[in-house]
Amino acid sequence: MRSDGQVRFIKISSRMQMTAAGLAAAVLLGWGVSMGAMAFSQYQASAERADLLSREAQVAQAEDRLADYGDDLAATTADLERRQDVLDRIAEMLPEDAVAPVEAEGASAVGAVSDSSKESDELISLIEREIPGAAGLARIEARQLAFVERVTRYADRRAQSAESAIRRLGLNPQMMMVADEEAMGGPLEQLVTGRDGSLDPRFERMVLSLSRMASLERGLQEIPQVMPADIRSISSGFGYRRDPFNGHAAMHAGLDFRAPHGAPIHAAADGTVSFVGVKSGYGNVVEVSHGNGMITRYAHMSRFASRVGQDVKAGDVIGRIGNSGRSTGPHLHFEVRINGRAVNPRPFLETAPDVLEEARADFIANHGNATRG
């Protein structure tokens, strides 16, 4: 220390330094704990406020509906009748287990499904107190919303099952859905609107879930899953082999099924016949488009049993085995192509039936015993 031209030295021992450091650490720790407690308290308060706002919003919504009932009961009745008409048409298209009461499962493939039971109870309570004569309508509205949410959960469960099966087969479910949606159109018909022209998000959510379910299940059915000929007669596999004509190594882009001349050829999956005719090297060919960039090709036919534009189901006879084209004897040359690229058909044909059966069995085991509620 310098003072009046003189310099003095003050020595601080190691023990004193450690003590000072300890005190500083204790102060910092106390400050940190205090700040943490404050942050937690703020978070807790924020969560409580959010919960309060949510509950207030539910009450406000019920009060808004109460106002609708009170302002124009006839219009509210017409609105509910219009909703019921739509729901009846949807129910007719679904199996009984789709609309049977089930336990809410919370999160789903597209997002959490709403639960309007508390909101409906609040509305019924308000109606019974303020407009007793309209309590029956409020209960009808509650049943409608419960139906919508049950169907949404049902559709999400089926969509998840189909998505899981598609992934097990090595395909991307999202890409299949995108491809499926690339060719759509038609006049706009809003599902259900209120008197103010707004669409209830719960109804919209149900429609989106049903659409997603249908798209994924359609894509699953369009994956090759039926042997086009007897699996025991496969004479040549997918990959490089010795060419039977020139003896050199060559790529074989499909499977060969040896069979008698005129034996039936079956469609490997649901689809639409996109080509019937002659291709160089293949001879007489039928191609079936399954959507999502996937086609199956059936070559060396002796006779066609299908036409372009024809919709076929897995297992349908689409032609007869022959020896046309570059062939050494009667057989079927079968290919699977995705966006023009040949892929090995065998994993699809051997795995898809089991995957589909497991998916169906799993769904039936969990949801197939329900009855209409």
Task: Of 203-207, 209-213, 255-259, give the lowest mean pLDDT range.
Answer: 203-207
Query: What pLDDT is recorded for position 361?
Result: 66
Q: Which of 190, 92, 77 is nearest to 138 (CA)?
A: 77
Query: What pLDDT is recorded for position 99?
Result: 60
Q: Which residue has the higher pLDDT, 354 or 348?
A: 348
Task: Extract the tokens encoding 217.
Answer: 């299940």
Query: Is pLDDT of 58 > 50?
Result: no
Distance between CA atoms of residues 138 and 114, nearest Å: 18
Collapsing DSSP states into helix, strand and coil, what is residue 236?
strand
In the block, residue with structure tokens 């978070």: 43
Q: Which residue has the higher pLDDT, 272 or 7?
A: 272
Q: Which of 151-155, 162-166, 200-204, 278-282 has the highest mean pLDDT?
A: 278-282
Query: What pLDDT is recorded for position 373?
Result: 32
Query: What pLDDT is recorded for position 167?
Result: 84
Q: Which of 191, 111, 100, 199 is nearest to 150 (CA)?
A: 100
Contact 277, 256 (CB under 8 A): no
Count CA atoms within 13 Å of residue 68 on its CB side.
19
Name the superfamily (CATH) of residues 231-344: Glucose Permease (Domain IIA) (2.70.70.10)
Length of the chain: 373
Average pLDDT across the chain, whole number: 76
Q: Mean pLDDT across the stretch 223-242?
A: 82
Query: What pLDDT is recorded for position 146?
Result: 87
Query: What pLDDT is recorded for position 32?
Result: 63
- Per residue in 93-141, pLDDT (tens digit) is 777 666 665 554 444 444 566 777 777 777 778 777 777 778 888 888 8
Query: Would you tell me how many other CB atoms lie within 10 Å of the CB of residue 262?
Result: 11
DSSP 260-280: -TT-EEE-SSSEEEEEEEEET
**Banded pLDDT at 1 (limits 50, 70, 90):** low
Query: Is pLDDT of 272 > 80?
Result: yes
**Domain boundaries along the sequence of the chain:** 12-71, 73-182+193-221, 231-344
Task: Of 47-61, 87-101, 134-148, give the lowest mean pLDDT range.
Answer: 47-61
Task: Of 15-29, 116-130, 132-146, 297-311, give the lowest mean pLDDT range.
Answer: 15-29
What is the reported pTM?
Answer: 0.62
